[in-house]
Amino acid sequence: MDWTDKVVLITGGTGSFGKKFIQVMLKEYHPEKIIIYSRDELKQYEMQNSGINDPRLRYFIGDVRDLDRMKRAFQGVDIVVHAAALKQVPACEYNPFEAVKTNILGTENVIDAALDMGVKKVLAISTDKAVNPVNLYGVTKLAAEKLVIQSNSYAGGRETRLSCVRYGNVVGSRGSVVPVFLKQRSTGRLTVTDERMTRFWISLEQGVHFVIRCIEQMHGGEVFVPKIPSMKVKDLAAAVAPEAEITYTGIRPGEKLHEVLISEDEARNTVEFDDMFIVQPSGTTWFGRDWEKLGKKLPDDYHYSSNNNTEWLDLEGIKKMIAPFMESYDQEEF
């Protein structure tokens, strides 16, 4: 795919994923233009001052809740990456209607604007918390996934195609546990909710390159799931602060012991490839099911969870993965 004549828009472009996505796109893919759509003028200002400033960038203030503003932003856009979301679990629990407005109704607005303005491809970023959700954040992301996938039926004769990417915890992203452990390290005591807890693990760089690859390959209607390693949260704590004491505080409301990226029910419509799974749309006759001719079918009772994973990060692997964030944090502290 030739990106040089493409206009790309990313919602939530001032977030951790957005920043890395923009840096990679400018350095490696050279699109004609990237529109950074977000609601916070201060974050846009800080982002420009941090060096993410290029003639191909457009900083566009707008909220995904505002359909008219989004239609204006989508004019002439070829590809939309939808990364805007309220994602802090406690904040979503305490402010449920706000989570619905941004994560569900905001996604509906992205879909409507894309269909009305002739955007060719929309790829929405989802999370393992959308599978068998136990908290409101997961519920809203599950709903957003369903909206994106099923909206392909509205495309009709249009060129617009919509798909999702679903992956696990991102190393060092805003709100992740790594910055929390780094702050706690100075106290000599780290808090972990349960010693059995496991999580899927992916770096920002890996996530961004996977998203770009999925945009290039998508037919519309798929959920792309990368094969990524698992780690034990207590091992992460030990990697961040080997000398610190670990206190187990008990599992919090809305928290799982283990995360799931593919459920047993989804396995029936999922095909496996060397480095990813593709969940195909179920019970439909439109596009998105050609992958079953190319990949390997999964057994009906299969599920892909962080505790039954075949790939694990040991202590040394975790240390290697978090090293850049440790160095960056230490420099800021100094």
pLDDT tens-digit readout, 96-119: 999 999 999 999 999 999 999 999
Lowest mean pLDDT, pick from 121-125, 257-261, 318-322: 318-322
Q: Which residues contact 330 (CB under 8 A, 6 or more apart)?
A: none
Over residues 244-264, mean pLDDT: 92
Instruction: Tell me the CATH number for domain 7-168+202-227+261-309.
Output: 3.40.50.720
User: pLDDT tier at 73 (50, 70, 90 boundaries)?
Assistant: very high
Alpha carbons 47 and 23: distance in angstroms, whole number: 11
> How many residues are recorded in the chain?
334
pLDDT tens-digit readout, 6-45: 999 999 999 999 999 999 999 999 999 999 999 999 999 9
Q: State residue 177's pLDDT score.
A: 85
Tell me: pLDDT of 284 over 80.
Answer: no
Over residues 181-200, mean pLDDT: 92
CB count within 10 Å of CB 327 equals 10
Alpha carbons 302 and 95: distance in angstroms, whole number: 35
Strand bridging mode 296-297 / 270-272: antiparallel
Alpha carbons 173 and 326: distance in angstroms, whole number: 13
pLDDT tens-digit readout, 105-157: 999 999 999 999 999 999 999 999 999 999 999 999 999 999 999 999 888 77
The pLDDT mean for the chain works out to 92
Cβ proximity of 128 and 90 under 8 Å: no
User: What amino acid positions are annotated as catalytic residues?
Assistant: 129
Q: State residue 267's pLDDT score.
A: 94
pTM assigned to the model: 0.94
Alpha carbons 32 and 7: distance in angstroms, whole number: 6
The tokens describing 122, both together, are 């929309």
Q: State residue 324's pLDDT score.
A: 78
Residue with tokens 């040089």: 4
Tell me: pLDDT of 330 over 80.
Answer: no
Alpha carbons 289 and 269: distance in angstroms, whole number: 9
Per DSSP, 63 falls in state -
Residue with tokens 């596009």: 287
Task: Select from 33, 20, 23, 11 the least CA-distant residue to 77.
Answer: 33
Segment (H or E) for 106:
helix 106-117
In SS3 terms, 72-121 reads as: HHCCCCCEEEECCCCCCHHHHHHCHHHHHHHHHHHHHHHHHHHHHHCCCE
The tokens describing 266, both together, are 């989804």
User: pLDDT tier at 334 (50, 70, 90 boundaries)?
Assistant: very low
Over residues 239-266, mean pLDDT: 92
Q: State residue 331's pLDDT score.
A: 55
How much of the chain exceeds pLDDT 90, in percent? 79
Alpha carbons 69 and 62: distance in angstroms, whole number: 6
Burial string for 99-117 (b: 16+ CB within 10 Å, else e) reads: bbbbbbbbbbbbbbbbbeb
Positive or negative, the CA dihedral 252, 257, 258, 263 is negative
Tell me: pLDDT of 306 over 60.
Answer: yes
Over residues 231-252, mean pLDDT: 92
The tokens describing 263, both together, are 């459920």
Q: State residue 183's pLDDT score.
A: 87
Q: State residue 328's pLDDT score.
A: 64
Strand bridging mode 270-272 / 223-226: unpaired
Q: Which residues contact 12 (CB under 8 A, 6 or more apart)?
A: 18, 37, 38, 64, 82, 83, 84, 85
pLDDT tens-digit readout, 151-188: 998 887 789 999 999 999 888 676 678 888 988 998 99
